[in-house]
Amino acid sequence: MSSLRAPAAIAVLSLALTGCAGGSADLEGRTFTATEVRGHDLVEGSAITLAFEDGQVSANAGCNTIFGEAQWDGGTLEAEQLASTLMACDDALMAQDEWLTALLTSSPTLSVDGTTLTIGDATGLTLTEEE
C-alpha cells in the first residue's frame, strides 16, 4: 500500500507546484499596457502593449506587431523566437520594436501582482491590465 502513496504524493505536489508557477500562469487571455519603461526611452506618443493567449505572446510598441509562441510559467517569459509584421515606420519606432523584441526573447523575469505585470529588472517594463 505504501508503494502507491509515493506516486500519488508526487502527482499532487507536481500539480500544486504547476498551479503556483511564480504567479504567472494567470496571464492567459489578459492584455497589459506599459506604465513604466526601464532601459529605453519610450518614443513620444507611443505605447507598449502585451497580450497573452493560447500559448502565444503578442506585443506592439507603436509600429509592428511582434508575436510568437511563449511560456510564462515559473517566473520567466520564454519566447525564444518571435515574428513581426513588416510595417515601415520612422527610425525611432523601428528601434523601439527591436528593443522590445530583444527584451521579450531574453528570458526576462516575470511577475504578476493583481493587475500589475512586471517584466525584467533594470531593463524592462511595468504594465497594467487593460479593462
**pTM tops 0.85:** no
Per-residue confidence band for 25, with pLDDT thresholds at 50, 70 and 90: low
Q: Which pLDDT score, from 0 to 100, does residue 131 have?
A: 81
CATH number (domain holding residue 90) = 2.40.128.270
Q: Tell me the C-alpha distance between 37 and 68, whole Å.
A: 22
- Residue predicted with more confidence, 57 or 22: 57
For 21, 51, 79, 82, the CA distances from 102, given in Å and listed in that order, are: 24, 17, 10, 10
The neighbour count for residue 7, using CB atoms within 10 Å, is 9
- Residue predicted with more confidence, 21 or 101: 101
Q: Domain total for the chain?
A: 1
Query: Above 80 in pLDDT, residue 29?
Result: yes
Per cent of the chain over pLDDT 70 is 81
Compute the average pLDDT of residues 57-73: 94
Query: Above 80 in pLDDT, residue 16?
Result: no
Domain membership of residue 25 as a residue range? 2-129
Q: Are 84 and 67 in contact (CB under 8 A)?
A: yes
Query: Above 80 in pLDDT, residue 130?
Result: yes
Per-residue confidence band for 14, with pLDDT thresholds at 50, 70 and 90: very low
Amino acid at 82: L
Cell digits of residue 38: 526601464
Q: Which pLDDT score, from 0 to 100, does residue 88 have?
A: 86
Q: Are 99 and 89 in contact (CB under 8 A)?
A: no
